[in-house]
């Protein structure tokens, strides 16, 4: 199986350690993951901001970069959801039947990380070790748009040494919302402040999520409060092992 890593533009630019963790994790599980360097961005930021025509070249780039892979794995629920729910809208807007066909063929092979691990590889225990108190923010796009259900939770519970603690009102949005964070900064921060409070109330040392965008927002508030809670992407905990931990 030829597996391509769609690292996402945000992780590529801001959080390379997440992409590196996915590579380590998948190699450990016997998957020789490849990174096609033609890839850029899913185009969600453009579509969600109302700039659909501007997303057309991005979707084209995505399809061209990954068309030759049997499976594409993305460490982002939000970007995977954009591929699944928005790429066909963008392709149809382009009026290009080849792009519509390309999207239709590729989209079913694109997976969010926890989906890929549980559904495609069929593993729950990935052999990780992480002896810390952790709470999970399920993220709206993973849970509502992709319906990943308890996959992230099951993967985390199988990690040796980990202590999972409940996050109060976990299913409520953190308030990031892409350009919402800039267009409606006050509401975004009000939502994020409540999320950060719940993270502190959980007593966790580490907040984990499947999306660095949400984590960037929540961490930005936690560090302002000197809350002393780390944030980590799901891939980073699943990649962690005894020697490194």
Partner 1 sequence: MIVTRTFLGTPSFPVAAKAALADSQLRSNMRNATHTIRDKRARVIGELDDFEELRQGAADIKDDVMSNLGRYLEQAEEALTRAGATVHWARDAAEANQIVVDIARRHQVDEVVKVKSMATQEIELNVALEAAGIAAWETDLAELIVQLGDDLPSHILVPAIHRNRSEVREIFLREMGKVGMPAEAGLSDDPAELAGAARRHLREKFMRARVAVSGANFIVADTGTLVVVESEGNGRMCLTLPEVLISVVGIEKVVPTWTDLEVFLQLLPRSATGERMNPYTSTWTGVTPGDGPQEVHVVLIDNGRTKVLADEVGRQALRCIRCSACMNVCPVYERTGGHAYGSVYPGPIGAILTPMLRGVGVDEATDALPFASSLCGACYDVCPVAINIPEVLVHLRGKVVDSHRGGVPGALQAAMTGASWTLTRGSRLALAQRLAGLSGRVLGRRGLIGRLPAPLSRWTDARDLPAPPRESFRGWWSRTDGGRDQHGSPPTTPGSEGDRR
Residues 105-144 that bind partner 1 (CB under 8 A): 140-141, 144
CA distance linking residue 31 with residue 60, whole number of Å: 26
84 binds partner 1 (CB under 8 A): no
Span near partner 1 by CB under 8 A; candidates 101-109, 117-125, 156-164, 226-234: 226-234
CB of 75 to partner 1, least distance (A): 10
For residues 198 and 167, the answer to whether their CB atoms sit within 8 Å is: yes
CA distance linking residue 163 with residue 86, whole number of Å: 37
198 binds partner 1 (CB under 8 A): no
CB of 229 to partner 1, least distance (A): 11
Among 6, 24, 79, 156, binds partner 1 (CB under 8 A): 24
Sign of CA dihedral 78, 8, 233, 225: negative
Q: Identify the residue whose tokens are 């308890």.
A: 150
Span near partner 1 by CB under 8 A; candidates 98-106, 114-122, 148-156, 223-231: 223-231
Q: Identify the residue whose tokens are 């959801």.
A: 81
152 binds partner 1 (CB under 8 A): no
CA distance linking residue 227 with residue 55, whole number of Å: 38
Other CB atoms within 10 Å distance of the CB of residue 89: 13
187 binds partner 1 (CB under 8 A): yes
CA of residue 232 relative to chain centroid, distance: 11
Question: Considering only residues 51-70, where is the footprint of partner 1 by CB under 8 A?
Answer: 51-52, 54-55, 57-58, 61, 65
Reported as type and span, the H/E element at residue 112 is strand 110-112
Among 76, 107, 188, 202, binds partner 1 (CB under 8 A): 188
178 binds partner 1 (CB under 8 A): yes
14 binds partner 1 (CB under 8 A): yes
In the sheet where 110-112 sits, what is the strand order? Answer: 3-5, 71-74, 110-112
The site that binds partner 1 (CB under 8 A) totals a number of residues, namely 78
CB of 118 to partner 1, least distance (A): 22
């Amino acid at each position: 199986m030829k597996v391509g890593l769609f690292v996402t533009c945000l992780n590529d630019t801001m959080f390379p350690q997440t992409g590196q963790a996915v590579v380590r994790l998948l190699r450990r599980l016997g998957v020789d993951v490849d990174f096609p360097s033609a890839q850029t961005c899913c185009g969600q930021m453009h579509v969600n901001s109302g700039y659909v025509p501007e997303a057309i070249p991005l979707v084209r780039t995505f399809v061209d970069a990954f068309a030759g892979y049997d499976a594409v794995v993305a460490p982002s629920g939000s970007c995977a959801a954009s591929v699944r729910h928005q790429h066909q809208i963008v392709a149809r807007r382009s009026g290009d039947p080849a792009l519509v066909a390309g999207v239709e063929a590729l989209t079913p092979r694109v997976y969010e990380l926890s989906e890929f691990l549980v559904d495609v590889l069929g593993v729950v225990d990935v052999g990780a070790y992480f002896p810390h108190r952790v709470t999970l923010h399920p993220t709206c796009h993973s849970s509502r748009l992709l319906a990943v259900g308890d996959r992230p939770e099951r993967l985390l519970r199988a990690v040796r040494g980990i202590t999972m603690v409940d996050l109060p009102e976990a299913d409520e949005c953190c308030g990031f919302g892409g350009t919402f964070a800039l267009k409606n900064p006050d509401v975004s921060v009000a939502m994020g402040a409540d999320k950060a409070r719940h993270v502190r109330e959980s007593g966790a040392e580490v907040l984990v999520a499947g999306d660095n965008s949400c984590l960037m927002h929540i961490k930005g508030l936690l560090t302002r409060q000197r809350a002393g809670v780390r944030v980590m992407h799901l891939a980073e905990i699943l990649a962690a092992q005894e020697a490194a931990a």
